[in-house]
Structure 1
């Protein structure tokens, strides 16, 4: 039977079950939080990123949701240094040149108020003379450290990054898995409806 686990990955946790690079001084991994064998993350979140992670033993689904050709939307809440203006936000929306590639168009909006998130442990380093702001960014690709590289490329370094939803299309309908009320380090099994949707997607 396939398993589907939604997990709120905390800051400073590896997106895998073992730390092969540091066997003598291992860092926190998924194994420290999820006591379920033989499941694997769908896509990744960086060590210094937080938020929604889907884990499963459904191989076809893992491939479909991980591969950039299927353009599944992923939404992030991003705290950046300073407050970008509209032309800067349009630059993010249209695509940013990062080394040898240009990012796909993205949905980007500046949030009027900070989102209601659990505090990060450890907290970000504040500078009294530098304001911060929050963006909501939805991408349809997931290159390595892409959000951080995008905001850095336009001069607004990312301070905190939290993935809050993973979207996917079933037919013409856009479905979404959301972080919801999960606190950092908490996980839950997919609901019956979520299971049905995910399994129908894996056979498309």
Structure 2
């Protein structure tokens, strides 16, 4: 059984084959040369951080399937400075168009020591920003982005830091290692 941790850079698609339509984009093939592994879950092309890949279908399902409720922790840079009510709403669960989310662990954190993003996020001098740690046990499409927007604080940068017991740790963007 193979299990690979990959620090997915911004702009990379979570698939090995290129898209047929649209502009060419980087895929997992540009970074990972390990036959027979497939992503256990996804990260949007504009999100960064930990992606797990495996050749074990049962492990892949356990990691990716929301029924197993494996915690996923994200470091989220948001526009504005969420107050206690916004954080409480995230902790309680917010209502999205596809229904309410499960409660999340949400806290404001100091700016994390992360790698620079390429391209950098757009900084506006008149609009403050801050970082949150957000842990969810679901995996809906763009869920974290939709949750922060629902409480009035759009996501500027999204980095998945951990999935269950696995963390991105000290891996640089584009780096992978076998676990």
TM-score (normalizing by structure 1):
0.86
- SS at structure 1 position matched to 2:87: helix
How many residues matched? 179
2:161 maps to what in 1? Answer: 164
C-alpha distance in 2 between matches for 1:164 and 1:114: 14
2:116 aligns with one of 119, 123, 129: 119
2:54 aligns with one of 32, 53, 56: 56
C-alpha distance in 1 between matches for 2:69 and 2:157: 24
C-alpha distance in 2 between matches for 1:25 and 1:41: 22
2:85 maps to what in 1? Answer: 87
| Structure 2 gaps, min length 5 | none
1:139 maps to what in 2? Answer: 136
Deviations 1:58-103 (CA, angstroms, capped at 9, x unpaired): 0011111111111110000000001001111000110111013100
1:18 maps to what in 2? Answer: 17
1:154 aligns with one of 151, 156, 169: 151
TM-score (normalizing by structure 2):
0.97
C-alpha distance in 2 between matches for 1:21 and 1:103: 33
| Structure 1 gaps, min length 5 | 168-175, 191-204
